[in-house]
Amino acid sequence: MTPEPHDHVSILLVDPSRADGTVASLRQRFKVVEAATVVAALKALNLVRPSAVVMELTLPDGDALAICREAKRHPAPAAVLVTTAATDNVPNALIAGCDGVLMKPFPPNLLHTRLARLLHQRALRVQQKTWLQHKKLSHLKERFQATQTGTNLIWAETYCPSCRLGHAVSFDATSHRRLWFACLVCRHVWIAKVDGSQRAALRNLSGANLYFSPG
């Protein structure tokens, strides 16, 4: 099986002693950003927001685990894979929240297998978080309906094109019978043509025309 390229996936590689082959093989599948120190890695973490961090524990300027802890503080934490020959430091890495450890030296294919597994698990975690947000949204929706005084309408079956969740809120229309929608979860705003069920619902609303002038 040929592995699929993940051109859109950014990997932060923090390892001044990395083998040339490691970098080359990672670049075949990922967008690779490199850092050689803790300071540079922390900066890159916040700038790039990588999907995964591949890191050595022995770095010239101090506490490498600060990188791991910082990565795990992000809203969508990167998967952290530690690659090292220093077994003594591994427990601390695990406590700091690293997701995997690959003992050096390792063949590149092992690195890819491990990374693929971690990226897959990370994707599941992000998905689960989206589901939790969806649950939170139903509370938001109740609150929203309770305070609804204007012309905003919640559409359970209208899905956000950005995050794919339902319960989009229409808040206005354009002159061409299109509605403005907002997603309260990801804050995306878009315009879409009124569909059949929306047209019917709009017709049934008391107080007649919320959005469109008659005729």
Between CA 70 and CA 61 the distance in angstroms is: 16
* Residue from 33, 67, 118, 160 in contact with Zn ion (CB under 5 A): 160
186 binds Zn ion (CB under 5 A): yes
> Pattern of binders to Zn ion over 84-123, x per CB under 5 A?
----------------------------------------
* Per rule CB under 5 A, count of chain residues that contact Zn ion: 7
Nearer to Zn ion, 139 or 203 (CB): 139
Nearer to Zn ion, 117 or 134 (CB): 134
Q: In degrees rounded to 5, what are phi and psi of residue 31? A: -85, 115
3-state secondary structure of 104: coil
Nearer to Zn ion, 169 or 194 (CB): 169
Phi-psi group of 183: left, alpha or beta (phi > 0 → left; psi -120 to 50 → alpha; rest → beta)? beta
How open is the CA angle 33-2-12, to the nearest 5 degrees? 10
Which helix H or strand E contains 178, and what residues bound it? strand 178-182
141 binds Zn ion (CB under 5 A): no
Residue 131 Cβ, how far from Zn ion at the closest point, in Å? Answer: 13
Look up tokens 């591994």; give the residue: 90
Q: Edge-to-edge, what's the strand order for the sheet holding 52-55?
A: 31-35, 10-14, 52-55, 79-84, 100-103
* Residue from 106, 182, 188, 201 in contact with Zn ion (CB under 5 A): 188
Nearer to Zn ion, 162 or 174 (CB): 162
Binding region for Zn ion (CB under 5 A) out of 21-29, 40-48, 85-93, 161-169: 161-169
Question: What residues line the site for Zn ion (CB under 5 A)?
Answer: 160, 162-163, 183, 185-186, 188
